[in-house]
Amino acid sequence: MLEAQRQFILAGERAGQRYGLTVPRTTSANLSGGQLGQRAGSSLEFREHRDYQPGDDLRRIDWNAFARSDKLTVKLYREEISPHVDLLLDGSRSMALAESAKWAASVGLAAALAVAADNAGYVAQAWLIGERCEPVLNGSGKPSAWGELRCDFAGNPGEAFTRVPPRFRRQGMRVLLSDLLWLGDPLVMVQQLAQGASSVVVVQVLAEADIHPPERGRVRLVDSETEEQREIFIDDAALRRYEEALARHQQNWQRACRQAGAVMVSLIAEELVANWNLAALVKADVLKV
């Protein structure tokens, strides 16, 4: 297992060396950190004045200017964000779907993001979501030094994450790597993830079999996480309904991400491990070349 994990990590590291982690434009406001963000924030570097708007921090009002012009204005400073990224890896069994590259892609992608973060001056910390969300052994070090990553959790990762929230570093960047295939309100998970974070990126890693279901006919489906079985007859109509359900599920997550200011990117594991092309993440301003 460790040997296979090492191969995935090495592949990810090689892929991540070309990239640097960037700060997405949709980072949460009113957070301060060690890295200057694109938006106005609480750093000491003055940016501009603007008229007061209800809800603005009263501490940012330029009282001198008010005395001069009898007009409420606020001073805007560059946002200061902490150069830290938490990489959350879904450790449920579905990530290790048989005959799929989902786990290899997820581990490799986590390694690539860790390397890209290091390239951008970030400190990366790897987490594994199982019964609870726990830091990976040597997760702040180089990916090749990470401890064993096990994907044997038979429960709901969303519930596990929200039940015992991990203590992330504030104003850090948080990246969730998962197939997101569990039952629950995505908004709860994303809001929990975004709380105290400078930015949140949700990377959905799906297997080809998740997007295009198995062959037609009488099939007994076995849930890889719960071992629950369901015997159905798959025909064109059933496939169409499945694709529609997948699309609706992804839309729910995207809607939740938009509401929480997070970025969501979907990747196909088999395509990713084939060439380690991270263009989708570059396009989403998560990585830069």
Partner 1 sequence: MPVFTFPLALLALLAVPALVAIYWLRSRARERRVSSLLLWREERQRWDGGRRLERLQTPLLFFLELLAILLLALAAAGPMLRAGDAGKPLVVVLDDSFSMLAGNEDSVRQRALQAIETELRDNRYESIRLVLAGEAPQLLGEAATQTEQALKLLAQWHCGAPEAKLEDAIAFAFELGGNRARVLVVTDHPPTQDLSDSRLQWWAFGSARQNFALVSATRSRYDNEDRVLLEVANLSPQAGTTTMTLSVGDANDQKRALREPQMLALGARETRRFTLTLPANTSALGVQLSDDALRADNQVVLLPETKPTVRVALRVRDAALRGLLEKALQSLPHVRLTPDKPELIIADDTSESVNAPDAWTLQLLVESDAASYLGPFVLDRAHPLSEGVSLGGVVWGAGKSTGLPGTPVITAGNIPLLTDTDRAGRHELRLRFRSDLSTLQQTPNWPVLWWNLLDWRASVAPGLRQVNLHLGGEAVLTTETGVRDVQVRDPRGAERQLPVQGNTLLLRAELAGVYQLRAGSQQYAFAANALRREESDLSRTTSGRWGNWATATALQWEYRGIAWVLLLLALAVLAVHAWLTARNAGRALAKENA
* Minimal distance, residue 100 CB to partner 1, in Å: 8
Q: Is 286 helix (H, G, I), strand (E, B) or coil?
A: coil
Residue with smaller CB distance to partner 1, 11 or 269:
269
Output the CA torsion 139→141→145→149 (10° steps). Answer: 10
* Minimal distance, residue 202 CB to partner 1, in Å: 17
Residue with smaller CB distance to partner 1, 76 or 238:
238
* Minimal distance, residue 1 CB to partner 1, in Å: 19
Surface-to-core class of residue 30, CB atoms within 10 Å of its CB (0-12 exposed, 13-18 middle, 19+ buried): exposed
Number of neighbours of residue 265 by Cβ within 10 angstroms: 18
CA 229 vs CA 55, 95, 207, 217, 220: distances in Å: 52, 18, 20, 16, 7
Residue with smaller CB distance to partner 1, 132 or 241:
241
Residue with smaller CB distance to partner 1, 167 or 220:
220
Query: What is the C-alpha to C-alpha distance for residues 22 and 65, in angstroms, rounded to an integer?
Result: 36
Residue with smaller CB distance to partner 1, 43 or 100:
100
Beta bridge partners of 266: 204
* Minimal distance, residue 25 CB to partner 1, in Å: 31
* Minimal distance, residue 236 CB to partner 1, in Å: 8
Query: What is the C-alpha to C-alpha distance for residues 202 and 151, in angstroms, rounded to an integer?
Result: 18
* Minimal distance, residue 181 CB to partner 1, in Å: 4
Nearest Cα neighbor of 142 from 129, 126, 130 is 126
Residue with smaller CB distance to partner 1, 71 or 241:
241
Which residues of this chain interact with partner 1, rule CB under 8 A? 94, 97-98, 102, 179, 181-183, 207, 209-210, 213-215, 217-226, 228, 230-234, 237-238, 241-242, 245-246, 249
Exposure string for 34-73, b = 16+ CB within 10 A, e = fewer: ebbbebbbbbeeeeeeeebeeeeeeeeebeeeeeeeeeeb
